[in-house]
């Protein structure tokens, strides 16, 4: 096999789409999915590829340096695509240290394991770090995040991601490790854990439960279909220039309240409910602490230099997403049982 790629966080939302794309598109690559299977990791996301001969799974925490070294050794890892992270801003507000442990300490552990495994031939291997637009901070109503925008993280989550980005670039500068970083906007699509706005609303609309909109719902996010992010990661992995950063986004800004209304309208139609039924569920609740006002990615560089473009219009992607959740009640039942109920109560009750 020509490459042996370690994809971390491959049982999560975006990681599972990246793993599926690579396993199916590159049968001559060995794909090793390394994931600790936290509350956000779910092997059901990978059922389409679990029996493929080029797919391997390792249940390992990136905080465990011995286990990482062993995986690099046993699988002869040639390249890394690093997605494993604690990813939810609200959880980072209640438990910042969990984010330091995985996102900062875990990333440095992984860099060290790669550096050790590739000693003497660092220039031959790629360490690709997947990051977020949130490291750039919060925009007012104008302007975009460019690759050159100074970092200004505002939440414990984005601070931990910013720190991990800095470490990756520091390893490139100090040890001449071949690295690339991409910073993407908000993703949506199948397999998105229902703690995040879009899947949470789809699940609640389905169950006629309140739709908690933080503050006035005026905050703006820039949404990209998850499979388009996975395609962008494929493009950056194969064509990105070492040492470079690529912003990924769909030039697709929406106010939260408008997204929630769109979901209500579409789901009333799909579920055969009377027009306006779901909108009555909208409930404005206490705002997120330190809530970033707006994110907006300028994705010109990846479009011009690497030829990547989103393949889907937002409404098409939202239709596909709602249809997936309606067809996958088992998946939703599994991920919303147990600890999800406690999490939901703690975050939303009395808010």
Give the binding site for ligand DAU (CB under 6 A).
87-89, 132-134, 185-186, 196-197, 200, 212-214, 219, 221, 256, 288, 295
Strand pairing report for 55-59 and 253-255: unpaired
Facing residues of 200 across strands?
none
Give burial (CB, 10 Å; 0-12/13-18/19+) of 172.
buried
Return the one option of ligand DAU, ligand NAD, none that residue 62 interacts with (CB less than 5 to 8 A, by type).
ligand NAD
Do residues 164 and 101 make contact, with C-beta atoms less than 8 angstroms apart? no
| Contacts of ligand NAD in 8-67 (CB under 6 A) | 8-9, 11-15, 35-38, 40-41, 61-63
Shortest distance (Å) from residue 88 CB to ligand DAU: 5
133 is catalytic: yes
E strand spans, the chain: 3-8, 29-35, 55-59, 79-82, 126-132, 178-184, 186-188, 211-214, 220-225, 245-248, 253-255, 282-285
Please name every residue paired with 131 in a beta bridge, in sequence order, or none if there are none: 183
> Residue 88 in contact with residue 200, Cβ under 8 Å?
no
10 Å Cβ neighbour count for 123?
A: 11
279 is catalytic: no
Residue whose C-alpha is closest to residue 308's, from 252, 253, 247: 247
Q: What residue 35 binds from ligand DAU, ligand NAD, none (CB within 5 to 8 A, per partner kind)? A: ligand NAD
Binding region for ligand NAD (CB under 6 A) out of 20-28, 84-92, 111-119, 139-147: 84-92
As beta bridge partners, residue 341 has none
- Residue (68 or 213) nearer to ligand DAU, CB: 213
Catalytic member of 55, 128, 136, 157: 157
Does 187 participate in binding ligand NAD (rule CB under 6 A)?
yes
- Give me the 188-227 binding string for ligand NAD, x by CB under 6 A, dash otherwise: -----x----------------------------------
Q: Is 157 a catalytic residue?
A: yes
CB closer to ligand DAU out of 190 and 212 = 212
Among ligand NAD, ligand DAU, none, residue 212 binds (CB under 5-8 Å by kind):
ligand DAU
- Between 89 and 172, whose beta carbon lies closer to ligand NAD? 89
Residues identified as active-site: 133-134, 157
């Amino acid at each position: 096999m020509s490459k042996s790629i370690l994809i971390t966080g491959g049982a999560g939302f975006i990681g599972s789409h990246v793993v599926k794309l690579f396993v199916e598109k590159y049968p001559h690559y060995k794909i090793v999915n390394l994931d600790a299977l936290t509350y956000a990791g779910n092997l059901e996301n990978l059922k389409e590829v679990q029996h493929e001969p080029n797919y391997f799974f390792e249940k390992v925490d990136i905080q465990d340096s011995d286990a990482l070294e062993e995986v690099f050794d046993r699988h002869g890892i040639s390249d890394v695509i690093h997605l494993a992270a604690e990813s939810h801003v609200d959880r980072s507000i209640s438990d910042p240290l969990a984010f330091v442990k995985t996102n900062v300490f875990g990333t440095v552990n992984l860099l060290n394991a790669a550096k050790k495994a590739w000693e003497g031939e660092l220039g031959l291997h790629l360490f690709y770090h997947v990051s977020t637009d949130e490291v750039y901070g919060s925009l007012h109503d104008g302007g975009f995040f460019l690759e050159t925008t100074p970092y200004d993280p505002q939440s414990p989550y984005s601070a931990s991601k910013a720190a991990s980005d800095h470490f990756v670039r520091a390893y490139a500068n100090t040890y001449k490790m071949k690295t690339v970083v991409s910073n993407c906007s908000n993703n949506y699509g199948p397999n998105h854990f229902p703690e995040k706005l879009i899947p949470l609303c789809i699940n609640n609309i389905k169950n006629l439960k309140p739709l908690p909109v933080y503050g006035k719902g005026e905050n703006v996010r820039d949404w990209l279909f998850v499979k388009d992010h996975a395609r962008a990661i494929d493009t950056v992995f194969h064509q990105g220039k070492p040492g470079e950063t690529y912003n990924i986004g769909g030039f697709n800004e929406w106010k939260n309240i408008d997204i929630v209304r769109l979901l209500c309208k579409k789901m009333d139609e799909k579920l055969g409910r009377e027009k306006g039924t779901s909108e009555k569920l909208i409930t404005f609740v206490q705002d997120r602490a330190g809530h970033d006002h707006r994110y907006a990615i300028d994705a010109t560089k990846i479009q011009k230099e690497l030829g990547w473009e989103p393949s889907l219009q937002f409404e098409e992607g939202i239709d596909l997403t709602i249809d997936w959740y309606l067809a996958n009640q088992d998946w939703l039942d599994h991920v919303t049982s147990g600890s999800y109920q406690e999490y939901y109560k703690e975050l939303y009750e009395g808010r």
